[in-house]
Chains A and B, each alone.
Chain A
Amino acid sequence: MAEESSAAAAAGEGRMTMVVGVDESEHSYYALQWTLRHFFAGGGGQPQYRLAVVNAKPTAASAVGLAGPGAADVLPFVEADLKKSSMRVIDKAKELCAQVSDALFEVIEGDARNVLCEAVERHQAEMLVVGSHGYGAIKRAVLGSVSDYCSHHAHCTVMIVKKPKHKH
């Protein structure tokens, strides 16, 4: 398969593969930019790492939530909207990653937590980078935290990049 051969090729070159999870939030763009600044800054020449940018697109059904009468009618619109939103995310990511010539961009449907961990396996990545919304403990418990989940379940090193809070 194309992905396996590319992963094997990367391993053969000895370059570390890193997966960066992106969604629509400013936090994840910040994480992507931080990663680019610190790992892909050498202008000209081949970058020393392989970059795979992954966006998890929620399924329309999970976005709508309750299945009730009329839900079926709404689904196509929700689906189209989600697709548009993912395209926007990837376009912006492509813009940010302009200097990385061989970066990969993927949109995969599913829950972000599983999508990212699975992408790590697929690319045989040695590092996963995620942003963090910086929720407190309660919000994390209620809303769930992708960075928390990934930092415990991904089978590789996980880097969590947070937007700095402005301390006074």
Chain B
Amino acid sequence: MKVLVAVDDSPGSHHALAWVLDHLFFPASAAGDEQQPQPRPDHELVLVHAVEPLHHVMFPVGPGSAVYGATSMMEAVRAAQAETARNVVGRARLVCERQGVTTAKTVVVVGEAREALCRAADDAGADLLVVGSRGLGAIKRAFLGSVSDYCAHRASCPIMVVKPPPDEEGHDGQRTSSY
């Protein structure tokens, strides 16, 4: 089964990746298992990160598709963005490797997160798309938008929404999820 996991730097997505590794790749890890358990060989893991394109500094010049920005600044920003993206997927890949999944592939897609993820799932022929969830309430979701909502309705493959863990919310405790 080809599993696409959406990663960004949010705790929701870290949790989603950890959940997938725990439950899909190492389903029956008994407590007290001394050796490193082997991941299920029949699952393929692809980590996807969506990068927003730089709209505001780009402008079309002339007819056709040529797009020019303020050249050197554009290049610098784009390079920085690419570097950040590489770091995000690199970190995610490290998490997988530490758990014993060494065959994870990484993909960086450009575009608005929700469309880009659905498109990536389509292009890759994924069997499952996994997204984390910020756990927003209904009102916030209406205003801030929800990638998981959009993907749940538009993705061409089954979608898995991994909820953030219940807050360990003591009165003095820090809130682990953002609201």
Q: Which residues of A contact B (CB under 8 A)?
A: 13-16, 31, 34, 38, 48-49, 126-127, 132, 137, 147-148, 151-152, 154-162, 164-165, 167
Q: Which residue of A15, A137, A152, A167 is within 8 Å of B27 (Cβ)?
A: A15
B142 within 8 A of A: no
In the complex, the answer to whether B127 meets A160 with C-beta atoms within 8 Å is no
Chain B, residues 18-36, CB within 8 Å of chain A (1/0): the string is 0100010001111100000
Cα distance A158–B130 in the bound complex, in angstroms: 10
Selected A-B contacts with CB under 8 Å, 26 pairs: A14-B28, A14-B29, A14-B31, A16-B23, A16-B27, A34-B158, A38-B127, A38-B128, A49-B27, A127-B160, A151-B152, A151-B161, A152-B138, A157-B19, A157-B23, A157-B160, A158-B163, A159-B158, A159-B159, A159-B160, A160-B159, A160-B160, A160-B161, A162-B155, A162-B157, A164-B156
B173 within 8 A of A: no
Q: Which residue of A lies closest to B146 (CB)?
A: A152
Cα distance A126–B160 in the bound complex, in angstroms: 12
Return B87 CB to nearest CB of chain A, in Å: 27
Q: Which residue of B19, B30, B160 is within 8 Å of A14 (Cβ)?
A: B30
Interface-centre pick from B148, B153, B156 (highest chain A CB count, 10 A): B153
Q: B residues within 8 A CB of A160?
A: 152, 158-161
Q: Which residue of A lies closest to B27 (CB)?
A: A48
In the complex, the answer to whether A157 meets B163 with C-beta atoms within 8 Å is yes
Q: Which residue of B155, B156, B157, B162 is within 8 Å of A157 (Cβ)?
A: B162
Count B interface residues, CB 8 Å. Answer: 25
Q: A residues within 8 A CB of B63?
A: none
Cα distance A16–B30 in the bound complex, in angstroms: 11
In the complex, the answer to whether A162 meets B138 with C-beta atoms within 8 Å is no
In the complex, the answer to whether B161 meets A15 with C-beta atoms within 8 Å is no
In the complex, the answer to whether B148 meets A151 with C-beta atoms within 8 Å is yes
Q: B residues within 8 A CB of A155?
A: 163, 166
Q: B residues within 8 A CB of A156?
A: 163
Cα distance A103–B153 in the bound complex, in angstroms: 29
In the complex, the answer to whether B159 meets A165 with C-beta atoms within 8 Å is no
Q: B residues within 8 A CB of A165?
A: 156
Task: Given A14-B29, A16-B23, A147-B152, check contact A157 B161 (CB 8 Å).
Answer: yes
Q: Which residue of B lies closest to A30 (CB)?
A: B158
Task: Given A16-B27, A48-B27, check contact A38 B156 (CB 8 Å).
Answer: no
In the complex, the answer to whether A158 meets B23 with C-beta atoms within 8 Å is no
B139 within 8 A of A: no
Q: B residues within 8 A CB of A161?
A: 158
Return A98 CB to nearest CB of chain B, in Å: 21
Interface residues of B in 130-151 (CB under 8 A from A): 138, 148-149
Q: Which residue of B lies closest to A161 (CB)?
A: B158
